[in-house]
C-alpha cells in the first residue's frame, strides 16, 4: 500500500496574510431571497480581482436552514480594509446595516501575525465560530472595528462609524 502524499505550504512570502471566513444565514423566506441575491454580486466583485485578494472560495455551512459563506485569503489587512471601504462593498455593508433582509451575518478573521477577531450581526442565540465557546459581547468602543479587535486598540476609521451604526433612525421613532 502506497503512503499518502503529504505536503505543506511555505507562507514566508505572505507575512501579513489575513484569512476571513464569512457567513450569511437565512432567518426567513425573505432572508433566503436576500442570501441568493448576494451570490452574483459577490461573484462579480471577485471577478474584478480586487488588489490583495489572493483566493476566494464559496462554502455551504448548512442547507437547512440555508447558511452560505466564503473563505477569502488577503495579502494583508490594508488591502482587505481598502476593499471593504470601496464600492461595491461599502454600499452593500451600509444597506445591510439599515436592513439585513431577513438574514444574519458573521465574519471571523485570522492573521499570520497572530490576531483573531469576529463580528456577528443578527445572530443572537446562534452559536457560530468563536461565539460558540467564547460568548458574544456588544461591538462597542474598542470592540467596534475589526482593526481595533485585531490590533488590540489600534484605530482605523471603519466604513461605518460606531455613531452611524448606533444612531437611531429618526423615521423609526415617528
pLDDT of 172 reads: 45
pTM, to two decimals: 0.84
Tell me the per-residue pLDDT of 92-122, one tens digit each, with 9 for 90 and over: 888 888 899 999 999 999 999 888 999 999 9
Tell me the per-residue pLDDT of 32-41, one tens digit each, with 9 for 90 and over: 999 999 999 9
Question: In the sheet that 67-74 helps form, which strands lie side by side, from edge to edge?
Answer: 53-62, 67-74, 18-26, 103-111, 116-121
Q: Where are the alpha helices (DSSP H) in the chain?
A: 29-47, 77-84, 89-98, 131-134, 146-151, 162-166
C-alpha cell at 168: 437611531
- Report, as an integer, the average pLDDT of 26-32: 95
C-alpha cell at 144: 467596534
Helix (H, G, I), strand (E, B) or coil at 105: strand
- What are the two backbone dihedrals, phi and then psi, of residue 155, each rounded to the nearest 5 degrees? -115, 145
Tell me the per-residue pLDDT of 119-158, one tens digit each, with 9 for 90 and over: 999 997 888 999 999 988 887 776 777 777 777 555 566 6
Amino acid at each position: 500500500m502506497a503512503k499518502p502524499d503529504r505536503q505543506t505550504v511555505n507562507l514566508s512570502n505572505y507575512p501579513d496574510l489575513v484569512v476571513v471566513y464569512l457567513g450569511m444565514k437565512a432567518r426567513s423566506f425573505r432572508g433566503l431571497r436576500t442570501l441568493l441575491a448576494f451570490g452574483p454580486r459577490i461573484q462579480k466583485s471577485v471577478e474584478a480581482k480586487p488588489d490583495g485578494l489572493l483566493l476566494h472560495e464559496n462554502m455551504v455551512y448548512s442547507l437547512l436552514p440555508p447558511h452560505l459563506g466564503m473563505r477569502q485569503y488577503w495579502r494583508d489587512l490594508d488591502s482587505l480594509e481598502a476593499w471593504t471601504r470601496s464600492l461595491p462593498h461599502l454600499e452593500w455593508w451600509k444597506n445591510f446595516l439599515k436592513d439585513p433582509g431577513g438574514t444574519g451575518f458573521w465574519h471571523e478573521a485570522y492573521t499570520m501575525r497572530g490576531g483573531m477577531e469576529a463580528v456577528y450581526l443578527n445572530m443572537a442565540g446562534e452559536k457560530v465560530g468563536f461565539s460558540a465557546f467564547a460568548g458574544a459581547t456588544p461591538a462597542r468602543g474598542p470592540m467596534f472595528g475589526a482593526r481595533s479587535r485585531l490590533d488590540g486598540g489600534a484605530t482605523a476609521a471603519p466604513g461605518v462609524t460606531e455613531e452611524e451604526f448606533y444612531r437611531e433612525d429618526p423615521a423609526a421613532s415617528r
